[in-house]
Amino acid sequence: MKVVIVGGVAGGASAAARIRRLDEHAQIIMIERSGYVSYANCGLPYYVGGVIKEQEELTLQTPESFWDRFRIDVRVRQEVTAIDPEGKTVTVRALDSGKIYTETYDKLLLAPGAKPTVPALSGVSSERVFTLRTVEDTLRIRRFVEGQKPKTAVLAGGGFIGLEMAENLAEMGVSVTIVQRPKQLLAPLDADMASFVHA
């Protein structure tokens, strides 16, 4: 059996390891658009803040360690651009070279993750506006914070990652303002629990 997994962060990497445990003979290919796999998103703000010191500590596995440990073929900086369910193929574009190729599969698993919501406002393309979802995003933010030493920051979103980012920036002496649509931080919490976070 040949399994192609689209996405190599939490969901895709966990699924790949589980499939290997269930079938030691399966051919498993994991395709990830970013340059990193198997990283914990919740740790990203702590690298910006310097709590996590080394970049290598952000990732649990590398493409090489996935192969050595699980015999899983991990392809980073490659993007699935089309799926043909009848022909059981995916079209893949290598982001560094632009090369396009087709990969066959018996089973296809989609785990591409989320995409940051960027409001359609003027100025969002500024080099001073960031999203935080990938390791690459984290490295960009850290370079900016270390190089520019900002005094203030506005964070759009008061979810888990937003609050962790606020905490780390505040610890660095940055004055942080959080704006968001819901009426409370951490929307999954009951209002009485969120009141402790607000305080």
Q: Which residues are catalytic?
A: 42
Q: Which of 148, 152, 156, 145 is nearest to 121 (CA)?
A: 156
Q: Which of 173, 174, 191 is nearest to 182 (CA)?
A: 191
Backbone angles phi, psi at 135, to 5 degrees: -60, -40
Residue linked to tokens 């994991």: 30
Q: Whole-angstrom distance between the N-terminal and C-terminal Cα of the chain? A: 54
- Nearest-angstrom CA–CA distance, 131 and 129: 7
